[in-house]
Amino acid sequence: MSSLSNMSAEEISELLDEYGIKHGPVVDSTRNLYEKKLKEAMAKGKKAKPSPDKTFYREEEEEVTYVYRTPAKSEDVRDSRTYMRSRPEWTERELEHRSHESPKYTKEDFPTYGQDAPKAPKSSRLIPLWVQFLCFLAVAVFLYLVFSSMESNEPLKVIE
């Protein structure tokens, strides 16, 4: 590892970003401090430098999604779906699939996809969607009952 003091300001800045350290410009008065911070971060063995070839993603609770910038294997086809939900970047590989998919960020199924992923297209929620709807309906019904049982003349009239 080259000595920190020999690095250019830009390199220091990049290193700081890699370690996730929020920082300002690397100038004379701040350089010393940032070098120290980097040494501490390296000693603690914080988040390692990300490999230049892939981006780590933790979009959903159960899966870690990798996006490969190099030509992909078939399993990455599935990954690109999850990836697409949140990142506006397009990799070379995804350009192929662009005709099939639209760049939306909602969690949609992709019916034109040749291979349906082994994983269910359902997104992973703690509480299944239908339960959520049920709860919402229950609350709505409850509120309606409360309103209808009110003695006031026009319980449903709102601000005009």
Partner 1 sequence: MSTTSQKHRDFVGEPMGDKPVMALSGIGDTLGKKLEEQGFDKASVVLGQFLLLKKDTEMFTDWLKDATGANSRQAGSCAQCLKEWCDAFL
* Footprint on this chain of partner 1 (rule: CB under 8 A): 22-25, 27, 29-30, 32-33, 36-37
For the CB of residue 124, give the shortest distance to partner 1 in the complex, in Å: 35
Q: Which amino acid is at 72?
A: A
Task: Return the number of the residue (40 or 75) whose C-beta is nearest partner 1.
Answer: 40
CA atoms of 11 and 17, how far apart (whole Å): 10
For the CB of residue 20, give the shortest distance to partner 1 in the complex, in Å: 14
Task: Return the number of the residue (27 or 95) whose C-beta is nearest partner 1.
Answer: 27
Task: Return the number of the residue (33 or 131) whose C-beta is nearest partner 1.
Answer: 33
For the CB of residue 12, give the shortest distance to partner 1 in the complex, in Å: 14
CA atoms of 37 and 42, how far apart (whole Å): 9
CA atoms of 110 and 59, how far apart (whole Å): 18
Quick one: which of 108, 101, 46, 57 has its CA closest to 79? 57
